[in-house]
């Protein structure tokens, strides 16, 4: 038995790819357009775990995506959590839980999917601007 | 960058472990009891992808978990989808989308998390009781 993917729905594919790929750093691996079903599937993966995919489902007909508490988050290990959060902030992403401890941060996708980022290996030396940054909202 | 886990919350840990481990076939890899925070974390993984984990968060104080449409499902490849679905049914799990095509099935966790099962490799020869089984509910 093998883990294959976690699927999340997205309401705006361009905005979501800007978040998941350009800001967060995942890579698009495959894409399927299904005009007959009016949806598009885009598979993403982190570079070092190509087999553990995130499937974005974009339904062409709009529906509202409200978060449910039963789904918690997607988590990724990153090489340098300070750099990752800086890149996200440069993309205009709110760092809901800044990595004040050099170890853990949370952000949210454009559709409110909570994303946990964890420093790979030992925690980094805590650094600004994160040390002084308060939490924002929930995650 | 590495995928680490998908976290889902569970309202009843025993019932959830019976589903995820005994019925579905995941293995418990680690467990952390946090009395000071009144929660328990249990990490699960499919046998061939130990690094791609599912984290179950059990909050000791009850809250209601209603599904949100933005989270779709967790997906796993299995060796024999007919056998997996038979095992799930023997555990009293509803096969919401039976593997009529020998290829794909959907079930739900006790908290309504949708689980997609996919036959690894080529589809199996369609078999009873799945061929004659209608869909049940949504997934």
pLDDT tens digits along A110-130: 888 899 999 999 999 999 999
Q: How far apart are the first and last CA of chain A?
A: 31
Residue A116 annotated among the catalytic residues of the structure: yes
Strands (E), chain A: 2-10, 27-34, 39-45, 53-59, 71-78, 104-108, 114-119
Q: Which residue of B has its CA nearest to A78?
A: B1
CA-to-CA distance for B1 and A24, rounded, in angstroms?
10
Contact between A65 and A9 under an 8 Å Cβ cutoff? The reply is yes
The reply to whether A21 falls in a domain is yes
Contact between B84 and B70 under an 8 Å Cβ cutoff? The reply is no
Which ipTM was obtained for this model?
A: 0.88
CA-to-CA distance for B80 and B78, rounded, in angstroms?
6
How many CB atoms are located within 10 Å of the residue A47 CB?
11
Assign residue A25 the CATH number of its domain.
3.10.180.10
The reply to whether A80 falls in a domain is no
Q: Residue B52: which domain range? A: 5-59
- Contact B4/A113, CB-based, under 8 Å? no
The reply to whether B24 falls in a domain is yes
The reply to whether A135 falls in a domain is no
Count, in order, helices (H) and strands (E) of chain A: 2, 7
The reply to whether B55 falls in a domain is yes
Chain B within 8 Å of A52 (Cβ-Cβ)? yes
Chain A within 8 Å of B79 (Cβ-Cβ)? yes
Chain A within 8 Å of B4 (Cβ-Cβ)? yes
CA-to-CA distance for B33 and A22, rounded, in angstroms?
37
What does the pLDDT profile of chain B (139 residues) look like in tens digits?
999 999 999 999 999 999 999 999 999 999 999 999 999 999 999 999 998 999 999 999 988 887 777 888 999 999 999 999 999 999 999 999 999 999 999 999 888 889 999 999 999 999 999 999 999 998 8
Contact between B89 and B136 under an 8 Å Cβ cutoff? The reply is no
The reply to whether A66 falls in a domain is no
Helix (H, G, I), strand (E, B) or coil at B87: helix
Q: What is the DSSP letter of A97?
A: B
User: If we measure between CA atoms, which residue out of B20, B16, B5 comes closest to residue A46?
Assistant: B5
Say which of B3, B74, B116 has its CB closest to residue A76: B3
Contact between B22 and B5 under an 8 Å Cβ cutoff? The reply is no
Number of domains observed in the structure of chain B: 1
- Contact B66/A69, CB-based, under 8 Å? yes
The reply to whether A84 falls in a domain is no
What pLDDT, in 10s, does the model give residues A38-58? 999 999 999 999 989 999 999
């Amino acid at each position: 038995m093998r883990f294959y993917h976690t699927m999340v729905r997205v309401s705006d594919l361009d905005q979501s790819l800007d978040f998941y790929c350009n800001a967060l750093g995942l890579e698009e691996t495959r894409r399927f357009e299904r005009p007959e079903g009016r949806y598009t599937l885009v598979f993403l993966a982190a570079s070092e775990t190509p087999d553990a995919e995130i499937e974005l489902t974009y339904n062409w007909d709009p529906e509202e995506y409200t978060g449910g508490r039963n789904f918690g988050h997607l988590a990724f290990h990153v090489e340098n959590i300070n750099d990752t959060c800086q890149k996200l902030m440069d993309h205009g992403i709110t760092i809901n839980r800044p990595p004040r401890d050099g170890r853990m941060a949370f952000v949210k996708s454009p559709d409110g999917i909570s994303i946990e980022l964890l420093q790979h290996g030992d925690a980094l030396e805590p650094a600004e601007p994160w040390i002084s940054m308060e939490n924002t909202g929930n995650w």
